[in-house]
């Protein structure tokens, strides 16, 4: 699995810590981490939590990433931004039980975490346990055991509702402020990572029309 990490400006100084813990947990499982920044609080390329949603949607819909880890100060804004786009199901995860139940019940492809609120002593331990529960077993199994089939059925219903309610991503991206879009896709290593991993020719061509080769 290709796992993308995205940090917005307010919590960018924690990018190195989050990335190192994520790699520590998931690389032994056979997953690969792609760090899309922000990398520091002084990066020239600036991401807001709204732009986290744009970037995450492009990565997930193109196949450049299979899963996105993101967040903001409270985690709420980034979660709302990601869920504003088709092809993205983002859960709000604070602790390991959140991670496990989101994976098993909702079977999404992104999480948003609070990287300021409650992020104090032992925060790296919480991150480690969250990533273990999120990626340590196959998702979508349903929870609790006696409700497995019901939860799997509910997820299919949710997918159908979302498919009805959302436009295709390129239509969505064309309709938003193009400077906001360019900023979201303007990270220092975006082109290098995205073009090497995208599987969607139409979306790749659209991205190239926005930020170039």
Q: What is the per-residue pLDDT across 71-102, written as a single tens digit (0 to 9) for each?
A: 999 999 999 999 999 999 999 999 999 999 99
Does residue 186 have a pLDDT over 90?
yes
E strands, the chain, in order: 2-5, 32-35, 67-72, 90-92, 110-114
Predicted TM-score (pTM) above 0.85: yes
Residue 107 sits in a domain whose CATH number is 3.40.1400.10
* Total domains, the chain: 1
E strands, 82-211, in order: 90-92, 110-114
**190: domain range?**
2-211
CA distance linking residue 158 with residue 164, whole number of Å = 10
Does residue 145 have a pLDDT over 90?
no
For 4, 29, 60, 130, 183, the CA distances from 50, given in Å and listed in that order, are 16, 31, 16, 24, 11
């Amino acid at each position: 699995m290709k796992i993308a990490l995205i940090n917005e400006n307010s919590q960018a100084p924690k990018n190195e810590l989050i990335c190192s813990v994520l790699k520590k947990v998931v690389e032994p499982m056979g997953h690969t981490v792609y760090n899309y920044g922000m990398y520091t609080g002084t990066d020239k390329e600036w991401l807001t939590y709204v732009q986290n949603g744009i970037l995450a949607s492009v990565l997930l819909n193109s196949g450049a990433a299979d899963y996105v880890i993101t967040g903001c100060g409270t985690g709420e804004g980034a979660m709302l931004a990601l869920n504003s786009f088709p092809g993205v199901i983002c859960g709000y995860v604070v602790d390991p039980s959140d991670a496990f139940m989101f994976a098993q019940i909702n079977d999404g492809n992104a999480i948003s975490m609070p990287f300021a609120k409650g992020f104090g002593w032992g925060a790296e331990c919480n991150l480690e346990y969250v990533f273990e529960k999120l990626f340590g077993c196959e998702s979508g199994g349903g929870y609790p055991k006696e409700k497995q089939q019901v939860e799997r059925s509910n997820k299919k219903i949710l997918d159908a509702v979302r498919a009805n309610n959302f436009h295709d991503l390129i239509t969505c991206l064309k309709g938003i402020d193009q400077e906001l879009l360019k900023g979201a896709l303007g990270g220092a290593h975006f082109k290098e990572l995205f073009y090497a991993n995208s599987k969607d020719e139409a979306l790749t061509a659209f991205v190239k029309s926005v930020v170039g080769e």
